[in-house]
Amino acid sequence: MTDEIRPPLEETEEVADAIEDDVAVDAFITGGGADRDNPDFLQPGEEPNWRTGADQQWDPEDVAVAEGRDPTPENVERARKEIERDGPATIERIVP
């Protein structure tokens, strides 16, 4: 690594030119992972690893509030029963 002090990328001529001409700035193209132009492809039979709101533990109080209800004892109890009955599907219905 060099001791050269460089200006922030946003202040470089390359960025100014890109803004003027609506062209890509190579330094902003990271190539660090999947994106629209470089998707990840799964092997046959491989399942995608999706993360959803139900991946974490939810308390009945959280469910009541996420449903737009006040966390009153009645609403919390209703949410507890719903979680007990439907499991993660309860959260999937509420949280995208």
Whole-angstrom CA distances from 51 to 27, 30, 54, 56 are: 29, 23, 8, 10
Quick one: pLDDT at residue 5? 80
pLDDT given for residue 6 in this prediction: 77
pLDDT at residue number 15 = 79
User: pLDDT band for position 2 (50/70/90)?
Assistant: low
pLDDT on residue 30 = 59
Question: Pick from 82, 84, 77: which is nearest to 93 by CA?
Answer: 82
- Ranges of each domain in the chain: 53-94
What number is the average pLDDT over the span 7-18?
Answer: 79
Helix boundaries (H) for 6-59:
13-21
Long-range contacts of 12-16 (CB under 8 A, 24+ apart): none
pLDDT digits (tens, 9 = 90+) for 35-83: 677 777 888 888 877 767 777 788 999 999 999 999 999 999 999 999 9
Look at 24 and 71; give whichever has higher pLDDT.
71
Give the alpha-carbon dihedral of 85, 61, 59, 74, to 10 degrees: -30
- CA-nearest of 47, 49, 50, 57 to 87 is 57
pTM, full prediction: 0.47
